[in-house]
Structure 1
Amino acid sequence: MKKLFLLLLLPLQLFAQKFTPAEIAAYQAQAKKVNIIRDKWGIPHVYGKTDADAVFGLLYAQCEDDFKRVELNYIEKLGRMAEVNGESAIFNDLQIRLLFDSTEAKADYAKAQPSFKKLLDAYAAGINYYLYKNPKVKPALLTRFKPWFPLMWTDGSIGAINTSDLTIEELKKFYTGDHSPTAYVPVIKDQHSGSNGFAFAPSMTESGNSILYINPHTTFYFRPEVQMHSEEGLNAYGAVTWGQFFVYQGFNEHLGWMHTSNNVDIADMYAEKITKTDKGLFYEYDKKKLPVTQKKINISYLEGTSLKTKTFTTYFTNNGPVMAMREGKWISLKAKNRNAQSLVQSWIRTKAKSFEEYQKAMDLKANASNNTVYADAQGNIAFWHGNFIPIRDTKYNWSDVVDGTTSATAWKGLHNVKDMVHVYNPANGWLQNCNSTPFSSAGKNSPIKANYPSYMAPDGENFRGVAAVKLLSRPVKYTIEKV
């Protein structure tokens, strides 16, 4: 058994990382409440007295395994990659800064519920304690982690940024004043590989228990396998994305959850009508002229051994940041890539004890990048296609640029979970999703496409989905081995 104790050895450690004696004393107190046991495969089983203690230990263990990956994920989400990789990363950082507002993240931290704020504090403390204890580890950039950092990355998927089909190249051309035409190159998505999730009801298994098959993507550089346990009801096992404090997909004693990515339309492009007067820039909305919001964004970048800075004047309308110019019109983006509720949802689902409690987590309607395949110890199986889905007027083609000058194209709130594409306990006894259409998720018992707006599930079928339906339709009683 391994215990995290504070060793007050060299003053150099304190000086190197600049942690105060009070901070180190707090780390010491929390470390005494944490046990990390690594099994024969090196998987960390983290035991804490409280949920926050378990988070503290989890982040410490992640840093032991791959601090560089933990740090890199946050450098990216903070929009600071150019400070490490140089000028080539400037516009990737600009995109992040336009979509992820650190001021808003800090405000979300300040108003977080006390119990949740403890988790955020423990996240930062666990990493900072690791840095204090390991002075030979030299961060590429982040020498101190802040508790609001997780609120810049509120989804468990690494590539969860959604810009519709607006590109970095378009962003670069717009903010460098290059308005020459750009040929559109459609993105061809890989349909041969991805995530695969399967759930089997008791009627389909030899044991009479439900089975959940999780494809966790636990390659070493993507997600590690962990267990988190506390005396406050936490006991989750599964895959955690480097640097995050919750089990992204996995199980507890009562139920399990698995995620696949989808093509649900959650980000929209708006063509703005801009006019310039002696009083500044204005955009048209419902026949009124409103001032374009301008915001200075400074991007630091590495050149040689020194940092330089480029300043961009960026533009926002009520729809969102201006990200491109197409056919002579400014194109803004409406999306919610950063959502504090998504982080809350990601945590509370790990502690759900029943189908009803898991549904309450889904009712937060904050998961913007995932489908969910579910099974529990009571024999329930379920599938949800997406979760954060804005309500929109169906007469518009939301896969294309829409008119930004009218409230007719505004989002009208979010769809309730009961109105989203979902399947609960289908008669066939199995569910599948392979980054594919939800309209084959339960074979003949799948949802009917005509009953839903096209923006809710534009996903097509793929070879993995076709093969899954064919295999699962056979009259077989499954075991873990057969799955």
Structure 2
Amino acid sequence: MQKLCTLFLMLAAAEASAQAFTPVEMVNWKLQAQRVTIVRDTWGVPHITGKTDADAVFGLLYAQCEDDFARVEDNYLTALGRQAEVKGEAALYDDLRQRLFLDSARAVQIYGRSPRWMKDLLHAFADGTNYYLATHPTVRPRLLHRFQPWMPLLFSEGSIGGNVSVVPLERLKAFYSQQKGTSYQAPKPTADRLAFEKAEEEPTGSNGFAIGPSKSASGHPLLLINPHTSFYFRSEVQLTSAAGLNAYGAVTWGQFFIYQGFNEKCGWMHTSSQADSMDEYLETVSQQDGKYFYQYEGKQVPLPTDTLSLVYLKDGQRQRRRFTTYRTPHGPVVGKVGEKWLTVKMMDTPLEALEQSYLRTKAHDYAGFQKVMRLNGNASNNTVFADASGTIAYWHGNFMPRRPAGYDYAQPVDGSTKATEWQGLHKVEELVQVKNPARGFIQNCNSTPFTVSGEGSSPDKKQYPSYMAPDAENYRGINAVRVLSRKKAFTLDTLIAAADDPHLVGFEKLLPSLVRDCQLLLDEPGGTLPPGVEAALPLLRAWNFNYSKTSVAQTLAIYWGERIQRLARPRVPAGQATDYISFTNFVIEHTTPEEKAVALSETIAELKRDFGKWQVPWGEVNRYQRLTGQIDETFDDQQPSRPVAFTSSAWGSLAAFGAHTWPGTKKRYGYVGNSFVAVVEFGPRVVARSVVTGGQASRPDSPHFTDQAPLYCEGQFKDVWFYPEDVQKHVERQYRPGE
């Protein structure tokens, strides 16, 4: 009786906080929590067990909120199109873009027709999050004080983000800022300007490797899981239930499935894809008597409109702006090209996407995994796969519209005719793919699928429509084929070494062009070089193009490479390919010897100015630092940090570490790249190792804030404790949600 009274007092105190939760809800959540066990291992990784899958999901969301509630909330502010309510007017058009494609009213409708098993998971998602808020009254959400079960259905596919984010904001702003009551004056968004801005961004993406039995020292297949995301974007968890769930890997904050990971029988790694799963349409729009019409098959059809009322924060006050929005059956209007209005058509099946994302975690072999893929709910990813039976496989994309021949779908197509309409979807069996290639390995590094297994074992480009795989080759892809081809048999250790191979392929042609052109300048009558260049050239000539914390040549090469690329980028003609390899060739051919030499001299001067000398080892400028754990991290040259040898994937670094200087810093600090990384061997027992960026927790006072940073920065991995008997040997804390 005393325990019961204590329980109700605790519940009443929690309810009395800012959260509006009823006593009945609290009692029900407490009862569900009794069916959940969370074991934190000595790295802080949560191993969550429930009686049912829904119980496990309840515990997962509770544990995620413990580790980083701010990121859970932030992802749903994005999905809801409500970032401007906390970030201000600058986020208004991000919210508009989101709401043009996905809205809460429709998510509620989709929830209503969801199958019972999915509703159970959706309720567990909301209940686990809300129970965390109810039992942690000191946590102050920025906006979301209650989570609803329909919220995960706001994503255009099963992962945070999806395809909506590729719609250019500047084009959207230029169109919708013309309306009365708006004040934004957008620059004209030309195709070459958009391409330039994209080229300036730090590349993201991922690496996935699968090793078949023929190239495995043990005869068991191996899998590398190496997503490149913004740091701390995903956390490491294990999710199990008495109903057969047992998945380990990376979960995005606020989602309730293992996004990239493995179970007892198989593993899956997703890499970002350029497979063309969405199309732009040019709409012929006219105005008659104050109303808009679009043309279709020779007829004038009334253009559907809607009013979106968006709230934003300005000077501490909530303001509201209303937008009149438009759409055709192709999708919402997102801008103009000349006098044509532009609409976007993309995958719009949130339920199927969420079903696929969850069900693939319970697949046990190639056939089962491929069956789940027939839901066609993955629009932005490729998949690298391995299973315990020895099968390795790769699919390029998943949701793939079937298009009529005769049109260039890389460009906007005519929206006034049915001749450009999608003709259903390609079957999974029709996608660009490979299964058990003869060379025994698969790699994808956000590059073309036609080199995934090297020469002779990769898919044949001529057998597929061009829109299925427009992806270019990149330097990571070239390096991956090199390192996977040259070794006869891999172990977990040598697979880790392959994933951290230090060679920077991107400099193999670029840097020799600098050395050659400098020599040309010296060979001229009375030839000289700009200040500092002649002293630096021997270092660059001797460099083996491998990254190292102690390499001065790497520092010179990267600073110079970035500078010469900035010089050349405005010279790229509009519409010309800007992938990394073709752009390197362009830089070599369209910068003069004098410009290359001057860029190196300016690099030397920059290093002297910032560090007092130009002979700066790469590890002194390329640093890992985590100070606050906030979503927008701050960096400080005066605070402790760690040297990192690996670098931007743009240069072919398989282990990716995107870094730059920040306000007030001279050193570069990483913010994107390797996040959750794991290697897995599928034998009679699963054996795996992993590492995350920094640590599991987001609080600086937690022992798991940066406990993995030494491993991460050195390319080392910790053991994964997958089986209960192994977990029990490394328990830091065992508890139930709410305790």
TM-score by length of 2: 0.63
Q: How does 1:10-409 map to 2 (within 5 A)?
A: 11-15=12-16, 16-153=18-155, 155-162=157-164, 166-177=167-178, 181-184=188-191, 185=193, 186=195, 187-188=198-199, 194-217=205-228, 221-278=232-289, 280-336=291-347, 339-409=350-420
Structure 1 pair 98–36 and aligned structure 2 pair: CA distance change class (3 A)? same
d(CA) in 2 for partners of 1:180, 1:222: 31
Given residue 434 of structure 1, which amino acid in structure 2 is its aligned partner?
A: C
1:413 paired with 2:413, answer no
d(CA) in 1 for partners of 2:187, 2:369: 50
d(CA) in 2 for partners of 1:26, 1:65: 23
d(CA) in 2 for partners of 1:442, 1:229: 34
Deviations 1:250-284 (A, max 9, x none): 10011000010011111211111112112721111
d(CA) in 1 for partners of 2:271, 2:487: 26
State the shift of 1:189 in Å: 7.3
Partner of 2:626: none
Given residue 106 of structure 1, which amino acid in structure 2 is its aligned partner?
A: V
User: Secondary structure, in 3 states, of the residue corresponding to 1:396?
Assistant: coil
User: Secondary structure, in 3 states, of the residue corresponding to 1:161?
Assistant: helix
d(CA) in 2 for partners of 1:50, 1:10: 24
d(CA) in 1 for partners of 2:45, 2:82: 31
State the shift of 1:216 in Å: 4.1
User: Secondary structure, in 3 states, of the residue corresponding to 2:411?
Assistant: coil
Q: Is the 8 A contact 2:260 2:270 kept in 1?
A: yes
Partner of 1:479: 491
Partner of 2:512: none
Greater C-alpha radius of gyration: 2
State the shift of 1:25 in Å: 1.4
Deviations 1:152-179 (A, max 9, x none): 1254544423466x42111112112179
Deviations 1:136-155 (A, max 9, x none): 00000000000000001254
User: Secondary structure, in 3 states, of the residue corresponding to 2:162?
Assistant: coil
User: Secondary structure, in 3 states, of the residue corresponding to 2:408?
Assistant: coil
State the shift of 1:26 in Å: 1.3
Structure 1 pair 320–352 and aligned structure 2 pair: CA distance change class (3 A)? same
Deviations 1:21-70 (A, max 9, x none): 11111111110000000000000000000000000000000000000000
State the shift of 1:428 in Å: 1.2
Q: Is the 8 A contact 2:159 2:255 kept in 1?
A: no
State the shift of 1:367 in Å: 0.5
State the shift of 1:192 in Å: 6.3
Aligned residues between the structures: 478
Larger helix percent: 2
Structure 1 pair 189–150 and aligned structure 2 pair: CA distance change class (3 A)? farther
1:427 paired with 2:428, answer no
Structure 1 pair 375–182 and aligned structure 2 pair: CA distance change class (3 A)? closer
d(CA) in 2 for partners of 1:201, 1:228: 27
Q: Is the 8 A contact 1:321 1:332 kept in 2?
A: yes
1:468 paired with 2:469, answer no
d(CA) in 1 for partners of 2:312, 2:409: 36
Consecutive unaligned residues in structure 2, runs of 5 or more: 1-5, 179-184, 496-739
d(CA) in 2 for partners of 1:181, 1:328: 14
d(CA) in 1 for partners of 2:228, 2:411: 32
Return 174-183 or 463-472, whichever deviates more. 174-183
d(CA) in 1 for partners of 2:117, 2:400: 28
Partner of 2:603: none
**How well do the aligned residues superpose, as a CA RMSD in angstroms?**
1.9
